Structure 1
Amino acid sequence: MAIHENYRLLGCGPHYWPLHNETKLWEEKDVDRGLLILPPTFPEPKQPHDNSRHRELCRLAGKWLRKPKFGSSYCPYVAVELVTASQEIPDVFGWNYWATVLIEVKVSRSDFLADAKKSFRQQPEEGVGAFRYYCSPEGLITEVDLPDKWGLLWEKDGVITVVKDAERQQQNAQGEITILASIMRREGVKPRLFDYRKQNNEYEAERRN
């Protein structure tokens, strides 16, 4: 192919561009005569998904769960956005001395509706959390949207309020054990034998001496 002297090789295959007067557009006759091969075009890079709003609500829900209050919704131990080998990855998971609590954060209707299609939502006994809540910006999720026994939390101006209390339901004990074991490992609790009777006996002997 004859290449016009005013065109140069771009260095990426047979793509040529004007050498002088870079701002001047080529004429259609140049294309027709085969003097111009257009440079490749590439799609715009995808912008990273902004999870800041979801992250904000997860942290607020975690702090709400740890805030001392009467009832099952107070948990002294809370994990936020913990990823484990369990099939369910809770946004917020807490436990106290008599129950476990799950909080699922949703910042869009599409995300909320997609959550309902998951297997452990279709079969509630396969999910974690004896008490389960959805947390969303005010008005995004309403009581009529909730699955049976689920509670609802709304966030407005950084404040979490209870719209509906959750009711106790059967939970997946194996999934909860996986979560707790993962937390212990991440927090540096090494595999060991916890012999508390032996430790108590040793403590009593030291105190008597």
Structure 2
Amino acid sequence: LLLGAAPGALNAELAAPADATAQDRALPELALGLPAELARRRPDIAAAEAQLHAATARVGVAVAELYPRVTLGASFGNESVGHERFGDWGSRQWQVGPTLSLPIFDMGRRRSTVTLRELQQQEAAVAFQQTVLKAWHEIDGALSAYAAERRRQAELAERERESADALALAQARYAGGLTDFGVALDARRTLLQAQRDRAQSRSRLAVDWVAVCKALGSAPPEEAVAAAASGPPI
């Protein structure tokens, strides 16, 4: 649904075996945020902006109705005293000329229409502002959760490396007869727990990345991700 594709369009890609290191590389570092213009691609922001433009245009149309209007028109018809001569060439007549419309008797209604259109424009502006603020909160929350999970994943990776070193040391000490097998068993249990926590963190990081893409309306382009480290953050 996020990609705008039909159901089943990604079956082949999802069924292919994935490399864990490739998945890690596919998730970028967004600690500094993303360029703010990416949020303009959200459908709700685009819709609110279009409604504001339409309301502004209606104000201009209502203001134009306050002034006299000159139109150039033409007419053609038949006029005859008797029906028997209605189809003769001489009964045909036409005229071309301007028409002047003066808003004299309904000026109050037209001014009220202008006031109404201005109020609708203000309402659309408030709705646009609320939509943008809601989008900022959603994007900021998604980016914060994504950055926090990346930091947690880095800490878990370090803990996994330390657990692996501790297991190697415990096995060496057990092989040398300095400790019993329980110490090596506890070290292996600690390493397995660290690996399990890191796998769960990798899964949560992928979910958080989907939340970032959903908050932005689509996945950010690669050039925006590459410039996130140096560009203005959201």
Q: Which has the higher strand share?
A: 1
Structure number with higher helix proportion: 2
Question: Larger radius of gyration, structure 1 or 2?
Answer: 2
TM-score w.r.t. the length of structure 2 is 0.22
Higher relative contact order (CA 8 A, sep 6+): 2
**TM-score computed with the length of structure 1 as normaliser:** 0.24
